């Protein structure tokens, strides 16, 4: 399994929306500034996340992006699947083609299920709460 920039930045985008959205819309330019990600790249990620039903968008001066579901209903797995596609280990597709020859198919299937389960155990809500906690610690330390 490889987690690309798309997966990492999409996670940061979704956490930012959960932290700063306050049941409203956030502007991509603000997310870009806070997360130090280009607004153009965020636009690409927004399209993927919108197609997956994770966010809503509104164009115009009062528009922006907001969560399409409660943060507690969105998992890290949902975000990764939306931008990365199915969760596979490196070369797993080729490996599965030869499954009759390989005796360790069950082992790799179990590992994939554990990775998937681990990603599913992190809700956007818990990630946003952790982000808020870290921000409060930094503000207190200053």
The model's confidence at residue 91, banded by pLDDT at 50, 70 and 90, is: low
Q: What is the Cβ-side half-sphere exposure of residue 57, based on CA atoms within 13 angstroms?
A: 17
pLDDT digits (tens, 9 = 90+) for 122-142: 999 999 999 999 988 887 665
Rounded Cα–Cα distance for residues 59 and 90 (Å): 39
Domains of the chain with bracketed CATH: 5-141 (1.10.10.10)
Examine the pLDDT at 10 and tell me if it is beyond 60: yes
pTM of the full structure = 0.83
Closest CA to 35 of 52, 62, 17, 23: 17
The model's confidence at residue 1, banded by pLDDT at 50, 70 and 90, is: low
Using DSSP's 3-state secondary structure scheme, residue 120 falls into helix
């Amino acid at each position: 399994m490889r987690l690309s920039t798309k997966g990492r930045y999409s996670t940061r985008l979704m956490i930012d929306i959960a932290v700063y959205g306050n049941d409203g819309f956030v502007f991509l330019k603000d997310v870009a500034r806070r997360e130090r990600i280009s607004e153009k790249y965020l636009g690409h990620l927004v399209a993927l996340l919108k197609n997956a039903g994770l966010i809503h968008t509104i164009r115009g001066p009062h528009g922006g992006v907001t969560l399409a579901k409660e943060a507690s209903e969105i998992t890290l797995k949902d975000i990764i699947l939306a931008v990365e596609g199915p969760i596979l280990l490196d070369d797993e597709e080729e490996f599965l083609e030869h499954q009759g020859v390989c005796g360790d198919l069950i082992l790799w299937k179990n590992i994939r299920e554990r990775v998937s389960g681990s990603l599913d155990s992190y809700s956007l809500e818990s990630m946003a709460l952790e982000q808020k906690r870290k921000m409060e610690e930094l503000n207190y330390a200053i």
